[in-house]
Chain A
Amino acid sequence: MSDHKILQYPKSPYLKTSYYEDTAIQAFDTPFRKKCLVIGLLFWVCFPFVASSYVVHIANLSAIAAIGAMSLNLLIGNTGLLSLGHAGFMGAGAFTTAIMTVQFGLPIWIVIPASGIVGALLGLIAGLPSFQLKGIYLGLSTLAIHHIIKYGCSEYQYYGGFGYGIVLEAPSLGPLLLAGKTVWFFVLWISAFATALLIANLLRSKPGRAWSAIRDRDIAAEVSGIDIGFYKILAFVVSSSLISMQGSLYAYYTAVVSVEEYSFGLTVSYLAMIIVGGLGSVLGSFLGALLITALPYALIILAGLVDLSFAVKEHFSVIQTGVFGMVVILFLLLEPLGLVEIWRRVRCYFELWPFSYKPLTIIKR
């Protein structure tokens, strides 16, 4: 009896005893991580009531950016297809929203899925060249599609007589009026988490594996039975549909839709997010979105601490742009695997402490 008692060790949180358990997302599997999750959730719920409205606004923008970054990362980081046209898909979502609410007065729960469908259709068209094109050529074809979408939107804005932008009214979801930063904080962050879950799920099931296989070695993928044309298009459709819905949310949140906003520069900032965050990683998209979105605001706060000359203050937006460019260059040169790699190293250090051997990774992209 006493022997039996000795054998009853507490089960290690790292030990999985069934394949079912092993298919779970590994992020919150140990007791420590579960505690972190609970504390994080509490913090998240309290955040909009504690922080100033300005900070909540930045957080909201980060959530929107995170959805966009995740959808772009799905395409670039996981499937290895270059898209330079995501600002166009986002704009398409925003304009779908504008047209459907201003002209037809449809409610938000119809408009957002409709934007997703519009985005999916555009993604289907944008994905067609991926049958024969790779790398930079594919990127250029998506850039062309971005410009064509932008042209369509600008025509609508011009002939609709909307001047500098289409103004939207605050939507309501059932009895709940979606207005104010706090309400939007929950809407946007829940959407972001839902998107993250969706993408994480896709990545650990059949489509995600097929996408990774296409990224790593497309001929071998094809010989393993993957219809690479179909999966490339599928990646485009999923990604552009998500970013289109994100564009719709963004339009509702900012309440103004204007074609100037969806320029190539917006695609650049999303590309920067996934580079800075880490390619092919959902967490990386979040981290990158937070950093790139918060960067200009952080600079303003930093600038408030030191005394700046008038010339510098006058051109502060230029400095923000310059720092943005600098951050991206530094990440590319010094930490090409992004914030998620830094995070991994920090985690490894603590997990392995007091030992110092690191697990292997491939330093290759």
Chain B
Amino acid sequence: MLLASIVVLAGIYALLGSGFVIIYKASRILNFAHAEIVMLAGYLAVSLAVAIPFSAASLLAVLCFCFVLGMSIYAILIRPLAGYSVLSAIILTVAVGVLLNAVGVFVWRGEMEVIPFGWRTYFSLPGNIRLSSIEFATLGIVTLFYACMGLFYRFTKIGQQMRATAENPLLAAQRGISIYRISGIAWGIGFAAAGLAAFLLGINYAISLQIGNIAVAAFVVALIGGLDSLLGTIPAAFIIAATEQLTITYANPRLGDAIPFIIMLMVLMFKPWGLLGTKEELDRV
């Protein structure tokens, strides 16, 4: 039971972390508004699930909404800040988060809601593990997402342009890649990943104002995996989910909240670029 919950939580963490990573890779900005996007997308999914009977359709609508939101936030707010210090960009995303949080609370009143997902049957696996259908669906969706992202980065033109931009924006721009368009799309995809994660959180647990805390832990996941490594989020998500669940079960929940940050501090001290991240360039005189 514990193992199953760790795996499911790790899947969601990985998904949330990948949102950070996709955005950071393209624009070198850490999106502190991620938690609020998750909350907003979650509530939107709840409302849509009530309105539209097909969950796939409502999921698609949420993803589209998040994609457009991500692109527009990039175009309207982040892009004008190009060339400013890292601090400005951070504060901007934090402020966007504050604003979105206010919008979310104002519209949805901050109540706790669950996305109705119909059937929930249980499957027994060897080794005394029971997984519900929802948990299977969650893992399936996460795996599918990673497969899609892998193929996207490897084979599509935009994906390759994104990799080029991540490696060297200046050179990419000189080769005729519109780095603003690419970053905008990356922000869209990153937000869509957050929307997907919100949907999965909604069907597995519940959507509430505190959902953002989970996104904060995911942010630790992104850092431990390496801020520019999509693949790194998977082992990092497992590490965080496992330690967090184990401390909550065997120690106390307050330590459970703090443990991801303790791990993050240790990673920053000894391996600052994360498990699979690339070392960022030093200055040259």
* Direct touching of A and B (C-beta under 8 Å): yes
Residue A319 contacts which of B92, B106, B265, B283 (CB distance < 8 angstroms)?
Answer: B106
Q: A147-B257, A155-B254, A271-B91 are in contact. Are A325 and B265 (CB under 8 A)?
A: no
Which residues of the partner chain A approach B283 to less than 8 Å between Cβ atoms?
218-219
The answer, among A128, A143, A220, A275, for a CB contact under 8 Å with B91, is A275
Q: Is B200 an interface residue (CB 8 A)?
A: no
How far, in angstroms, from A137 to B226 measured CA to CA in the complex?
Answer: 11
With A144-B261, A325-B96, A325-B102 in contact, do A272 and B268 touch (Cβ < 8 Å)? no
The answer to whether the Cβ of B30 comes within 8 Å of any Cβ in the partner chain is yes
Q: Does B77 make an interface contact (CB < 8 A)?
A: yes
Interface presence of A119 (CB below 8 A): no
CB–CB B88/A148 < 8 A: no
Interface size in chain A (residues, C-beta < 8 A): 46
86-121 of chain B: CB within 8 A of chain A? 86-88, 90-92, 94-99, 101-103, 105-106, 109
**Closest residue of B by beta carbon distance from A133:** B272
Please state if B272 and A137 are interface contacts (CB–CB under 8 Å): yes
Q: When the two chains form their complex, are residues B88 and A268 in contact, meaning their CB atoms are under 8 A apart?
A: no
Q: Are A329 and B265 also in contact (CB < 8 A) when A76-B87, A275-B91, A336-B84 are?
A: no
Q: Which of A135, A143, A144, A321 contacts B98 (CB 8 A)?
A: A321
A25 within 8 A of partner (CB): no
**A-B contact number at CB 8 A:** 116
Contact A315 B86 (CB under 8 A): no
Give chain B's interface residue range (CB within 8 Å of chain A): 35 or more
Task: Decide: A322 and B106 in contact? CB cutoff 8 A.
Answer: yes
Assess the B268–A158 pair: CB atoms within 8 A: no
B80 touches A (CB below 8 Å):
yes
- Interface residues in B197-234 by Cβ distance below 8 A to A read 216, 223
Q: Contacts A136-B30, A151-B258, A322-B99 known; A332 to B265 CB distance under 8 Å?
A: no
Report chain B residues within 8 Å CB of A167. Answer: none
**3 pairs of A and B residues whose beta carbons are closest in the complex:** A322-B102, A325-B99, A151-B258
* Listed A/B pairs (9) with beta-carbon separation below 8 Å: A82-B86, A82-B90, A135-B86, A141-B264, A146-B261, A322-B99, A325-B96, A329-B95, A332-B92
Using a CB–CB cutoff of 8 Å, the interface residues on chain B facing chain A are 30, 77, 80-81, 84-88, 90-92, 94-99, 101-103, 105-106, 109, 216, 223, 254-255, 257-258, 261-262, 264-265, 268-269, 272, 283, 285
Given contacts A133-B268, A148-B258, A279-B87, 12 further A-B contacts (CB under 8 A): A129-B265, A133-B272, A136-B86, A141-B264, A148-B265, A219-B285, A321-B105, A324-B95, A329-B77, A329-B99, A332-B91, A365-B87
